[in-house]
Amino acid sequence: MSETMETDGYACRVVDLKKEYVLKSETVRALRGVTFDIPVGDYVAIMGPSGSGKSTLLNVLGCLDQPTSGSLWLGNDDAAKMSDDELADIRSQRIGFVFQAYNLIQQLTVVENIQVPLFYQGRPLSPEQRKRCHDLAKMVGLGDRLDHRPTQLSGGQQQRVAIARSLVNDPYFILADEPTGNLDSRTTEEILQLFERLNNEGRTIILVTHEDEVSKRAKRVVRLKDGRLQWDRINSQEVRDEAARYALENMPVEV
């Protein structure tokens, strides 16, 4: 079918993605044919109520789950047709994950956590890669805490480590699943600003959220409902600025 899909300029392309699974002898059709493209440099918020297929889409986009049919083009490869090991390679090389619960590994230090995706690329770390890990830690403002353990960091700091980790493999896109869900509004703002900065530097970001305030900060919002695309719209610069201003104005006062 779409073997000759044009992929230049796209971080990923989703073509007629369907996902069904059996739950207690009942077939659940979580995705019923979703198609959309994410061009390089985009900043997309994926929204939708629970049961809309949002999580399923996230898992498929993150190459953690395989669709029943359809294609997911990451570069010239269709992730929908890959084996478990190939998907693992894709995850370690082309995707940057940021989770709601930060998901750092407790027994590793900040810098070691950042290195994990490189570790699974199967090659010993080069000096440049080591330097890159340090630079990323500095970039997210944790240059002085390289040897701290996750338990010694605040939630916001942990999420910044996670963002640094998501960048270490220079991914096609960052896939952030409710990255601010566990954070207070001040830290949420910090993280959103960091995302904005990364996007301005050219990073592609896919952000799954159910908060309107968060989705308004993205360049584009994709809304799912009942396993289908409900709408896909561009946030104008005014909407984004307004949302940023609103967030700053309603910041709780530091006591």
Name the site residues for other proteins (rule: CB under 8 A). Answer: 59, 62, 64-65, 84-85, 88-89, 91-93, 97, 99, 103-108, 116-117, 119-125, 165, 169
Identify the CA nearest to 110 among candidates 144, 150, 138.
150
CB of 117 to other proteins, least distance (A): 5
Q: How far apart are CA 251 and CA 141, in angstroms?
A: 21
Alpha helix (H) ranges present in the chain? 54-61, 84-94, 110-119, 127-139, 155-167, 185-200, 212-215, 237-249
CB of 97 to other proteins, least distance (A): 5
Q: How far apart are CA 50 and CA 55, in angstroms?
A: 8
State the Cα torsion 125-78-55-156 to the nearest 10°. 30
**What 3-state DSSP class applies to 31?**
strand
Quick one: 73 or 99, whose CB is closer to other proteins?
A: 99
CB of 51 to other proteins, least distance (A): 16
Quick one: 12 or 243, whose CB is closer to other proteins?
A: 12
Quick one: 118 or 139, whose CB is closer to other proteins?
A: 118
Quick one: 81 or 233, whose CB is closer to other proteins?
A: 81
Quick one: 34 or 243, whose CB is closer to other proteins?
A: 34
CB of 116 to other proteins, least distance (A): 5
CB of 85 to other proteins, least distance (A): 5
Which two three-digit tokens encode residue 154? 């605040």
Name the burial class of residue 118, with classes exposed (0-12), middle (13-18) and buried (19+) by CB atoms within 10 angstroms of its CB: buried
Quick one: 36 or 120, whose CB is closer to other proteins?
A: 120
CB of 42 to other proteins, least distance (A): 22
Name the burial class of residue 106, with classes exposed (0-12), middle (13-18) and buried (19+) by CB atoms within 10 angstroms of its CB: exposed
